[in-house]
Amino acid sequence: MPTADAKPRLHLPRPLLLLLIPFLSLLLLYSYSSSPPPPAAVDVAVPLSPTPPSPHIRMRRAGFRSYEDYLRHQLNKTLDPRLRRVWATRDWHRKVDAFARAFAALRDDGQLLSNASRALCVGARLGQEVAALRLVGVRDAVGIDLAPAPPLVVKGDFHAQPFANDTFDFEFSNVFDHALYPDRFVAEIERTLRPGGVAVLHVAVHRRGDKYSANDLLDVQGLVGLFRRSEVVRISKVDAFGLDTEVILRKKRSSP
Ligand X SMILES: *[C@@H]1O[C@H](CO)[C@@H](O)[C@H](O)[C@H]1NC(C)=O
Give the interface with ligand X as residue ranges (CB under 6 A): 36, 38, 72-73, 76, 115, 137, 165, 191
Residue 177 and residue 215 in contact, taking contact as beta carbons nearer than 8 Å: yes
Q: Which is nearer to ligand X, 39 or 123 (CB)?
A: 39
CB 17, min distance to ligand X, A: 32
Residue 176 and residue 223 in contact, taking contact as beta carbons nearer than 8 Å: yes
CB 30, min distance to ligand X, A: 17
Question: Could you tell me whether strands 119-122 and 168-173 are parallel, antiparallel, or unpaired per DSSP bridges?
Answer: parallel
CB 71, min distance to ligand X, A: 9
CB 170, min distance to ligand X, A: 14
CB 107, min distance to ligand X, A: 8
CB 139, min distance to ligand X, A: 8
Q: Which is nearer to ligand X, 56 or 181 (CB)?
A: 181
Q: Which is nearer to ligand X, 73 or 252 (CB)?
A: 73
Query: How many residues comprise the chain?
Result: 256
Rounded to whole angstroms, how far apart are CA atoms 127 and 8? 29
Residue 129 and residue 172 in contact, taking contact as beta carbons nearer than 8 Å: yes
Determine the residue with CB nearest ligand X.
Answer: 137
Residue 231 and residue 253 in contact, taking contact as beta carbons nearer than 8 Å: no
**Residue 10: what are its φ and ψ, rounded to 5°?**
-120, 130
CB 195, min distance to ligand X, A: 11
Q: Which is nearer to ligand X, 13 or 63 (CB)?
A: 63
Q: Which is nearer to ligand X, 173 or 245 (CB)?
A: 173
Rounded to whole angstroms, how far apart are CA atoms 238 and 47? 34
Q: Which is nearer to ligand X, 113 or 124 (CB)?
A: 113
Rounded to whole angstroms, how far apart are CA atoms 59 and 51? 7
Find the distance separating the first CA and the last CA of the chain, reported in whole Å: 27
Distance of CA 40 to the CA centre of its chain: 14
Q: Which is nearer to ligand X, 202 or 251 (CB)?
A: 251
**Residue 57: what are its φ and ψ, rounded to 5°?**
-120, 130
CB atoms within 10 A of CB 252: 15
